[in-house]
Amino acid sequence: MTIPSLLSQQLLGALKQALGEQLPADFMPAVTPSQDLRFGDYQSNAAMMLAKQARCNPRALATQVVDLLGETEMATAEIAGPGFINFRIKPAYYAERMTALLSDERLGVALTDKPKTLVIDFSAPNVAKPMHVGHIRSTIIGDVLGRLARFLGHKVITDNHIGDWGTQFGMILWGWKNLLDKDELEKDPIEALLAVYKTVNAKCKEDESLLPVCKAELVKLQSGDEENLAIWKQCIAVTKTGLEKIYNQLGISFDYWLGESAYNDALAPLVDDLLAKGIARESEGAVCVFSDGFHKPQDDPFLVQKDGEWAPVPAIIRKADGGFLYATTDLATLDYRTQNFNADAIWYVVGAPQEKHFKQIFDIERMRGVTGDFRHVAFGSILGKDRRPFKTRSGDTVSLQDVIDEAVTRAAKVIEEKSSDMPAEEKALVAQQVGIGAIKFAELSQNRMSDYIFDWDKMLALTGDTAPYLQNSYVRVRSIFRKIEGAFQAPDTLTITEPAEIHLARLINRYGEVVPSTLDDCRPNLLAAYLYELAKAFHSFYEACPVLKSEGKMRETRLALCELTARVLKQGMGLFGINMPDRM
């Protein structure tokens, strides 16, 4: 059990005594880490909240509660300000918990008591288009949510819902037959396909007669033409190979690659079913789902205000020409996941602009009586220097492979400067770990909802609040352990006294609180901030408290602090899919 939950229980007991009947039945006092260490380790504002309801003086209530709490083995409570109850944890208590952590593989992170079957839908690039920086957010955040959920005991299914059935195939098919450079296809398949697509796209703009020809190719594909199907399959195959290459470099993998095309056969019956149930109806030739009036107009994803009136914005699930859309596929995909995977939670890691789309999808499920923890884990846009979103349609953005290459190159350069004597093979490996780590950490340390401006130097920075900073603290620990004789022996007791030791102990003990809360709100930046703080505390400790030169209990304690710091850093960064090198 974490320290704040223990404190919360103690506090509840004291509040019950103090307030008796006046305490609300299901009240659980919040105990949170203090923002400023001058106010102790943890604080609660429960007295201020309750005093209002009970109509008493908050400071008086807090004083009464603090008297009841008294001093425990764990902490001393004190009152401050308008009625804060501050808890100061005793170093000996931290020490005691740490000896337990030394033999705990989970380092204090409890398994969830409500395991879910969770499908995470992320990355989802399009076939025949290379991944660009815009795919970074979904890919990295989705992967991390999967790792976190698994670690916490959920059954996780990751699914790459690739765009393999879009209208772009009309142009690609025509281009494949008329323009494709077979040599280029050998060398860099995705680039070759992209080039074809771009060329055809340009040609269509010049020559209006071409577009219908491309559309005809698409229709042929969709009606099962063998030649076109064969080409289409090849496009998917080469794209997948290219994508795998990038995912491998990033250390990311998927349980399934169920693209849009996997749901083709389900679309027509789905629309028929929605029509039969009266959830969808025809309008202007298309089949649409309209508002059922469940929500207030301003919260209704099927309504928009126009000229002072609420006008319908239906979800179209079948076009007037009979074609199906994004929404149709997503509904069919959701059905598949709930039925075949028995998913009770489905999280979509998709950009914020699609918020309305998902609100509609989830609302249609509500109308159909399908329930579950369906979430749109949205994130902000990556902007160009002009503060406008990168244009993905025109294709002139930075490719993900270029970002990776540049990151590794930059890391390699620093390694060459700092550790020129390292074997070449290790240099290459460390450059990979540092470079990729830098990219991932730059993404994960940001609030996922914020837009950010793409900047090479920021994304690939190797100093400051970055992965290499954390990796370096790990490296420093490993370096210490290389210098002691024999393996690390966990001592039975620890004695922490120095401020730097206490602070490090405080943060190590907090790991078990941070990991679950990071998943609760799908906010990797909480864990990133914690890990950075831990690394920072370690670097300070490292400067202030010599380990190898100390003796006896002090040395044992410091070695244990080093060991636990390293374990937390390694495991925490592992949850981010970032590797920690032993040397750098």
146 to 175, contacts with RNA by CB under 7 A? 163, 166-167
Residue 51 token pair: 């005093």
C-alpha torsion angle, residues 498, 499, 502, 503 (rounded to 10): -150
Q: Select from 237, 213, 224, 223 the least CA-distant residue to 164.
A: 237
Which residue number, 85 or 185, has a Cβ lying nearer to RNA? Answer: 85
Interface with RNA includes 532 (CB under 7 A)?
yes
By C-beta, is 153 or 166 nearer to RNA? 166
Span interacting with RNA, options 81-89, 247-255, 331-339, 366-374, rule CB under 7 A: 81-89
Report the distance separating Cα 109 and Cα 115, nearest Å: 15
Instruction: With beta carbons less than 8 A apart as the criterion, state whether 68 and 18 touch.
Output: yes
Nearer to RNA by Cβ, of 88 and 368: the residue is 88
Q: Which residues, numbered 500-529, are part of the site for RNA (CB under 7 A)?
A: 523, 525, 529
**Tally of helices (H runs) and strands (E runs) in the chain:** 20, 15
Q: Which of positions 352-371 make contact with RNA (CB under 7 A)?
A: 352-357
**86 near RNA, rule: CB under 7 A:** yes
Q: Residue 580, interface with RNA (CB under 7 A)? A: no
* Residue from 177, 245, 277, 306 binding RNA (CB under 7 A): 306
Shortest Å distance, C-beta 21 to RNA: 22
CA distance 262 to 202: 30
Q: H or E element: which one contains 58? A: helix 58-69
CB 10, min distance to RNA, A: 17
Q: Say whether residue 80 binds RNA (CB under 7 A).
A: yes
- Distance of closest approach, residue 232 Cβ to RNA, in angstroms: 15
Q: Which is nearer to RNA, 492 or 543 (CB)?
A: 543
Among 55, 114, 182, 387, binds RNA (CB under 7 A): 387
Cβ pair 111, 152 in contact under 8 A:
yes
Residue of 12, 194, 279, 414 that binds RNA (CB under 7 A): 414
Residues 1-60 that bind RNA (CB under 7 A): 30, 32, 34-36, 38-39, 43, 45, 48-49, 52, 58
Token pair of 521 as six digits: 């709100």
Return the range that interacts with RNA (CB under 7 A); candidates 181-189, 191-199, 225-233, 315-323. 315-323
Q: Specify the stretch interacting with RNA by CB under 7 A; choose among 143-151, 205-213, 415-423, 565-573.
A: 415-423
Select the residue interacting with RNA from 217, 260, 344, 556 (CB under 7 A).
Answer: 260
Among 170-178, 240-248, 284-292, 399-407, which window interacts with RNA (CB under 7 A)?
A: 284-292
Tell me the one-letter amino acid at 89: I
User: Could you give the string, one character per residue 460-499, with x where binding to RNA holds by CB under 7 A and - elsewhere?
Assistant: -xxxxx--xx--x--xx-xxx--x----------------
DSSP 177-208: HHT--HHHHHH-HHHHHHHHHHHHHHHHHH-T
Which token pair is 442? 């730059």
Gap between the Cα atoms of 24 and 16, Å rounded: 9
Select from 67-75, 184-192, 233-241, 320-328 the region that touches RNA (CB under 7 A).
320-328
Between 41 and 365, whose beta carbon lies closer to RNA?
A: 41
Stretch that binds RNA, among 5-13, 61-69, 127-135, 543-551 (CB under 7 A): 543-551
522 closest CA partner among 359, 375, 324, 323: 375
What single letter denotes the amino acid at residue 51?
A
Tell me, residue by residue from 179 to 218, as one string, x for binding to RNA by CB under 7 A and - for no binding: ----------------------------------------
- Residue recorded with tokens 């649409």: 288
Q: Can you tell me which of 53, 305, 340, 497 binds RNA, judged by CB under 7 A?
A: 305
The answer to whether 582 contacts RNA (rule: CB under 7 A) is yes
What number of CA atoms fall less than 13 Å from residue 404's CA on the CB side? Answer: 17
- Rule CB under 7 A: say whether 430 interacts with RNA: yes
Amino acid found at 454: F
| Letter string b/e over residues 87-117, b meaning 16 or more CB atoms within 10 A of that residue's CB | bbbbbebbbebbbebbeeeebbbeeeeeebb
SS (H, E, C) 103-151: CCCCCCCCCCCCCCEEEEECCCCECCCCCEHHHHHHHHHHHHHHHHHHH
